[in-house]
Amino acid sequence: MEDCPLLEVKELRTRFSSEKGTITAVDGVTFRVDHGETLGVVGESGCGKSVTAESIMRLLNEKSTRYDGEINFKGRNLLSLPEKKMLDIRGNEISMIFQDAMTSLNPVFTIGDQIAESIIVHQNLGKREAMEKAVEMLRLTGIPSPEKRVHEYPHEISGGMRQRVMIAMALSCKPSLLIADEPTTALDVTIQAQILEVINDLKEELNMGVMMITHDLGVVAEVCTRVAVMYLGQVIEESDVDTLFDSPRHPYTRGLLKSIPTITGDRSQKLHTIQGVVPALDNIPKGCRFAPRCPYATDQCISESPLLEALENGQKIRCWHHEEIMKREGVTDVITTAT
């Protein structure tokens, strides 16, 4: 059981059929999450981060979605489980928190009811015991006077509180994997830090694996142990967090890191931007997906798609020229302190 990773996504491909034809939102994504570690999944909006997460939970409309590949959770392939078995996994063994806590809570039920609901479903407890547990969970997430809060409705509490409620709800059944889809994006910076701390503390306490989806490299630096960078439905680089910040290899990752403003930098210098825009999913470049925006692109990049290559240091990279780039530019060009 110990060799078996908590979550192992292998060559996941998620396709939607729509009126315009088939769209491949996730194309051959591979990564793993172990007990007690936080994997950051980074990328711009529309790169397939959320679709990957929702594929793991199988939350997408299955009539118009086709999955290929494997999602092995504790050794079982979730993609081949019947929906009935998935019901036992969702909210129980794998939980998810969403970006917008404002709209992710049902406005017509009390907070307590909403937390107690998953406890009742998964743990066979009565309403009263479940409510007591809900209060306890709220206390764990740092909500003051939780025994009063359980009777309140989502519109009566602040955004930060609502995200705490979401966390309490997600963790109420002590899942072994938590998927957090941009949990702090909609919050003030001061609240962000608090929420990340709550997630981190509870991760340690429950020895959970966490998949932290974000576009904020600050969040990655703060809480993640490993990072997967996604671009247009593919993982283009994966490494532990220090390596990623110290010696990023993929031109896209380098570009992302260069676009972070620093407090010590030269103020007269313009902030770096990555040229061009992300192509639409129905118009994916044939070769390397980043080639049209890449300053190092060659003919090979435009015609042939690189594979995800594993390096000796554990880093994984999807680029034809990463070695040359590293030789040519080294690591100095990229900021090394991203926190």
Partner 1 sequence: MKAYILKRLLSMIPVLLIVAIFVFFLIHMIPGDPAAVMLGPEATPEEVESLKEELGLNLPIYQQFFEWSLHALQGDLGNSLYMNQPVLDAFIGHLGPTLSLALLAQGVSIFLAIPIGVLAARKRGTGVDRTFMIIAMLGMSIPSFLLALLLMLVFGVQLNWLPVAGYSSLGEGLWEHLKYLILPAISLGTIQAAVIARMTRSSMIDILSMNFIKTAKAKGLKQKVVIYKHAFRNALIPILTILGETFGALITGAVVTETVFNLPGIGQLVINAITRRDYAVIQGTILLIAVTYLFLNLIIDLLYGLVDPRVRLNRK
In the bound state with partner 1, the residue whose beta carbon lies nearer, of 33 and 235, is 33
Which residues are registered as beta bridge partners of 239? 227
Which residue's CB is nearer to partner 1, number 63 or number 128?
63
Q: State in angstroms the smallest separation of the CB of 161 from partner 1.
A: 16
Closest to partner 1 by CB, 110 vs 176, is 110
Alpha helix segments (H runs only) across 172-320: 189-206, 217-223, 241-246, 251-258, 299-303
Conformational region of residue 28, where left means phi above 0, alpha means psi within -120 to 50, and beta covers everything else: left
Query: Which runs of consecutive H residues, i.e. helices, occur in the chain?
Result: 49-57, 83-89, 101-104, 111-123, 127-140, 146-149, 159-171, 189-206, 217-223, 241-246, 251-258, 299-303, 322-329
CB of 45 to partner 1, least distance (A): 16
Residue 118 beta carbon to partner 1: minimum distance, rounded to whole angstroms: 4
Which of residues 86 and 206 has its CB atom nearest to partner 1 in the complex? 86
The minimum distance between CB 183 and partner 1, in angstroms, equals 13
CA distance 274 to 252: 8
Q: What would you measure as the largest C-alpha separation in the chain, in angstroms?
A: 66
Q: Which residues are CB-neighbours of 179 under 8 A, at least 6 positions away?
A: 53, 56, 57, 94, 95, 96, 97, 210, 211, 213
In the bound complex, what is the minimum distance in angstroms from residue 308's beta carbon to partner 1? Answer: 29
Q: Which residues bind partner 1 (CB under 8 A)?
A: 54, 57, 59, 86-92, 95-96, 98, 100, 103-110, 117-118, 121-122, 153, 155, 166, 169-170
Cβ nearer to partner 1, comparing 153 with 296: 153
CA–CA gap between residue 241 and residue 317 (Å, rounded): 14
Min dist. Cβ of residue 18 to partner 1 (A): 11
For the bound state, the minimum distance from the C-beta of residue 103 to partner 1, rounded and expressed in Å, comes to 4
Tokens, residue 21: 């034809």
Q: Which is nearer to partner 1, 121 or 193 (CB)?
A: 121
Cβ-count burial 260-289 (b if 16+ within 10 Å, e if not): beeeeeeeeeeebebeeebeebeeebebbb
Cβ-Cβ contacts under 8 Å for 33 (sequence gap 6 or more): 5, 6, 7, 39, 177, 209, 210, 211
- The smaller minimum CB distance to partner 1, of residues 199 and 334, is found at 199
Q: Which is nearer to partner 1, 164 or 250 (CB)?
A: 164
Q: How far is the CB of 109 from partner 1 (least distance, A)?
A: 8
